[in-house]
Amino acid sequence: EDQVTQSPEALRLQEGESSSLNCSYTVSGLRGLFWYRQDPGKGPEFLFTLYSAGEEKEKERLKATLTKKESFLHITAPKPEDSATYLCAVNSGGSNYKLTFGKGTLLTVNP
Amino acid sequence: GAVVSQHPSRVICKSGTSVKIECRSLDFQATTMFWYRQFPKKSLMLMATSNEGSKATYEQGVEKDKFLINHASLTLSTLTVTSAHPEDSSFYICSAPRLAGVEQYFGPGTRLTVT
């Protein structure tokens, strides 16, 4: 059974204070690791898909990296508008694209 | 812009009635869509996989007779909550994979309140 563990559960940063969120996973065979951002009362917003260890992707102040056991979402010089819940999910294959989600990290960036 | 839409965004219904929620992929075809339920401050719980042209696949513990899923076309899946009860009140979200699963997009969600 696929398992995804995110840490920390909550993180408070000051504006400009860079940090990282962690996503540890256990799957039988990774087909893709997904990062999403979710604002309160809204559906998750797609950020990145990573496929193989060593892969990195960037978008504005966010950079996602992947190893064989975990993924990191690095946030550089965050702004208050980066405050949200960040969700990590894995797809372990099969003919469908079912995702297994972690519980998320609630990020709060104070001005 | 949004690639997956849901309708309605909010619905309030009385106990015992049925409610239909639509999920549409806007600029791509989706033979598979997923329905999730999310409780306050909790992560997404997969309810079922909607398959175009065949029956939906339900996760363990999800009542298929209560949560009816119909994948009417390559761009539309519907979730009907039958004989709704207050405990069915929740945030329901659908998703659709695109580009052979390289990307998976979520709808904006539907807030269901059963009184």
Q: Do A41 and B97 touch (CB under 8 A)?
A: no
1-20 in chain B: CB under 8 A from chain A: 4, 6
In this structure, what token pair is assigned to residue A71?
Answer: 């993924």
Could you tell me if B77 lies within 8 Å of chain A, comparing CB atoms? no
- Percent of chain A's residues with pLDDT above 70: 96
State pLDDT tens for residues B34-90. 999 998 888 899 999 999 988 999 999 999 999 999 998 999 999 999 999 999 999
CB contact under 8 Å between A41 and B46, yes or no, is no
Measure the CA dihedral A37/A40/A43/A49, to 10°.
10
Question: Does B111 sit within 8 Å of A43, measured CB to CB?
Answer: no
Using the Cβ of A42 and the Cβ atoms of chain B, whether some distance falls under 8 Å is answered with yes
Tens digits of residue pLDDT in A70-108:
999 999 999 999 999 999 999 887 656 889 999 999 999
| The pLDDT of residue B106 is above 70 | yes
Q: Residue A78: name the closest of A11, A10, A4 by CA.
A: A11
A78 interfaces chain B, CB cutoff of 8 Å: no
> Which of A12-26, A94-108, B85-99 has the weakest average pLDDT?
A94-108
Q: What is the distance between the alpha carbons of residues A75 and A71, in angstroms, rounded to a whole number? A: 13
Nearest in space to A94 (alpha carbons), one of B46, B43, B100: B100
> What pLDDT does residue A94 have?
62
pLDDT attached to residue A48: 93
B49 touches chain A (CB under 8 A): yes
Mean pLDDT of chain A: 94
Q: Which pLDDT belongs to residue A28?
A: 84
- Across chain B, what does the average pLDDT equal? 93
HEC per residue, chain A: CCEEEEECCEEEEECCCCEEEEEEEECCCCCEEEEEEECCCCCCEEEEEECCCCCEEEECCEEEEECCCEEEEEECCCCHHHCEEEEEEEECCCCCCCCEECCCEEEEEEC
Task: Answer yes or no: is pLDDT of B112 > 80.
Answer: yes
Cβ atoms of B88 and B18 closer than 8 Å: no
The answer to whether A39 contacts chain B (CB < 8 Å) is no
Only one residue has tokens 């990296």, namely A65
Task: Identify the pLDDT of residue A15.
Answer: 98
pLDDT for B2: 66
